[in-house]
Amino acid sequence: MKRTLYLFMMMAGLFLTACEKDEVGSTATEKVAGEWYVTVDLVNADGSLVYTGEEFFALGKFFVNTYNTAANVSNEMWVDDLGNFWDFKVKTQSDVNALTFMTNGAVANTSYEGCDVTITEGKILPKAATTPHGTPADSIVFYVSFSDDDYPDKYGYDKYKISGYRYTGLASDD
């Protein structure tokens, strides 16, 4: 009987301590960080559409991630296409209060050597997108160009516009 009571008290103690929660902090770029379901368009300098990514690259929706750097400061973050488009990963300047990001000119692509990447006019627009199942979601839009890209000169456009919405994880939004 003593053993049963002792075992019960031990289990109750373990159960009560297992229920304690540690506070988890957020990152400095939490407002602009996320997983984004995006498309790409090929555009002129003024942003007007020349080709869609679907018709030019046979490329539909794909994922892009934005996340904090190891320094965990609010004025820089990574933009990473996870190899889904051009295979780029670059550190950008960010302003979490204005929900904007960009590179300071062309910066080295950390995904592979010999390619500099320029990102301009990056912004997050809260609740500005509508997901396929009809609910509002944050929107992302930015322009990107690559130093090793000869397509713009060949096919008559200036840069790529990447835009989409924050990934919801719902199958109906894929």
Q: How many domains does the chain have?
A: 1
Q: Is the pLDDT of residue 46 over 70?
A: yes
- Whether 56 maps to a domain, the answer reads yes
Question: Of 25-29, 52-56, 84-88, which gets the smallest average pLDDT?
Answer: 25-29
CATH at 72: 2.40.128.220
Determine the Cα angle at 101 with ends 107 and 50, to 5°: 80
Torsion of CA 95, 79, 141, 97, to 10 degrees: -10
CA distances from 160 to 46, 52, 67, 96 (A): 12, 9, 21, 23
Rg (CA), the chain: 22
Strands 100-102 and 62-68: unpaired
Q: Which amino acid is at 169?
A: G
**Can you tell me whether residue 76 is helix, strand or coil?**
strand
pLDDT class for 34, splitting at 50, 70, 90?
very high
- Whether 96 maps to a domain, the answer reads yes
pLDDT digits (tens, 9 = 90+) for 124-148: 999 999 999 899 999 999 999 999 9
- Whether 103 maps to a domain, the answer reads yes
As given in the structure block, the two tokens for residue 143 are 């322009």
- Whether 108 maps to a domain, the answer reads yes
Q: How far apart are CA 130 and CA 140, in angstroms?
A: 12
> Can you say how many angstroms the Cα of residue 6 is from the centroid of all Cα atoms in its chain?
52
Is pTM beyond 0.75 here? Answer: yes
State the residue range of the domain holding 48.
28-173
Q: Is the pLDDT of residue 19 over 60?
A: no
Half-sphere exposure of 87 (CA within 13 A, CB side): 7
- Whether 12 maps to a domain, the answer reads no
Q: How far apart are CA 89 and CA 79, in angstroms?
A: 6
As given in the structure block, the two tokens for residue 162 are 């990447």
Question: Of 56-60, 78-82, 95-99, 155-159, which gets the smallest average pLDDT?
Answer: 56-60
